Structure 1
Amino acid sequence: MMWKLLWLFLSGHQFVVMDLPLLFESKTYLPYMSYILVVSCSSKKQLERLKTRNNYTTEEAENRIKAQMPLAEKCLLATTVLDNNGTIEELQRQLHQICIDLRRSKRHWKLRLGLLSLFLAPLSILTYFLLSTN
């Protein structure tokens, strides 16, 4: 996954959306995230949706929810929280606005320039060394 991210970054993508339900629990990719979005809804709606999507009993769905970090905690750790209590159209509007905001951001240029300087620094040292020995 990291190679794919690097490739997308180097090929000019301004941002990449990753679906990582256990991001906070595993902590594996957390250091690489600069913007974290959490989609949240009421616990009642979360339970209903899980039962419908996975054909779970109430007990199975509750156990699955309890096995994860509470949604309220994830919301506190997020950069932005999307409210998913309404319709899919309402959620899409929120997501559309976030995409507009991310496209306006120039944050990716700081990272690109930082990486470029890491690659160019050894080259400039080598060039200096070669020129100074002649």
Structure 2
Amino acid sequence: MKVVGLTGGIASGKSTVVSTIVSLDIPVIDCDKLARIVVEPTHPAYKKLVAHFGVEILQNQEMGQPLDRYKFGTIIFPNPAQRKVANSIIHPAVRDEILKRLFKLWIKGTSLVVIDVPLLLEGELWRIVSEVIVVYCPPETQLARIKARDGLSEEDALARINAQRPLIEKVDYADHVIQNISDLDSLKQSTIEVMNKIKPNPIWTILGYFPPFTFLMASWVIAKRHLKGDPRKTKSKV
């Protein structure tokens, strides 16, 4: 089974890309949804968050109540140390949920799966996927779309953009770039073309069900990423 990572940025057009991929009957694991699942009261990560941050991050400040996302955000976003703690709890929990879903898809005989990860690069998950797809649009287009879509001032729109890694930096990690610089039809067509390029050979899919070959394939992907290194760090040495 070939596992591909997909990322982009706010207002880059990634949602359209995802819906196009789904229309091709290619399963997509949505990590935003998983991040919401792991902070539900029934999940172990919920208890770890409450143990560190206290019941103040919960609605009505009562154990068993859902996470108060606004309150939680006011605690972790201005404070890098607290954000690091939150990520150290949430990210491993999300990775576990990803692995569970990948295993189920592998059992079903799925040949290709896409993991939609906004923090694919920041969370270092790019190191364990076969290929990375980045949805890109120019910064000025990104800004105009956010202002029009969300009715924000330019200052507020820029603040949201600047809270993420610049799209142009994400392109350095990409094996495939889907350019969103025209209309929706062009974006959908570009997505289809990229997915056709990365579609795995059926023979490799069959071989992937033999444990020794599966291990070799996974090891090769990880080794290839390790040898390639972090593009941004490599670039800074030049």
TM category (shorter chain) comes to 0.7 to 0.9
Equivalent position of 1:12 in the other structure: 109
C-alpha deviations, 1:86-108, integer Å up to 9, x for none? 01111111111122222254695
Cα distance in 2 for partners of 1:89, 1:24 equals 28
Report the CA distance shift for 1:43/1:96 in structure 2 as closer, same or farther (over 3 A).
Answer: same
Question: Aligned residues: percent identity?
Answer: 29
Is 1:76 the counterpart of 2:158? The answer is no
Cα distance in 2 for partners of 1:10, 1:108 equals 15
Equivalent position of 1:117 in the other structure: 212
Cα distance in 1 for partners of 2:157, 2:207 equals 41
Cα distance in 2 for partners of 1:47, 1:65 equals 8
Structure 1: 5+ residue runs without aligned partners?
A: 120-134
TM-score in terms of structure 1 length: 0.74
Report the CA distance shift for 1:54/1:33 in structure 2 as closer, same or farther (over 3 A).
Answer: farther
Aligned positions, number: 117
Q: 1:24 aligns with which of 121, 128, 131?
A: 121
One-letter identity of the residue aligned with 2:190: Q
One-letter identity of the residue aligned with 1:6: F
Runs of 4+ with >4 A deviation: none
Greater Rg over alpha carbons, structure: 1
Aligned residues of 2:178 and 2:194 also touching (Cα < 8 A):
no
Secondary structure of 1:26's partner? coil
Structure 2: 5+ residue runs without aligned partners?
A: 1-97, 215-238
Name the structure with the higher strand share. 2
TM-score in terms of structure 2 length: 0.44
Higher relative contact order (CA 8 A, sep 6+): 2
Secondary structure of 2:115's partner? coil
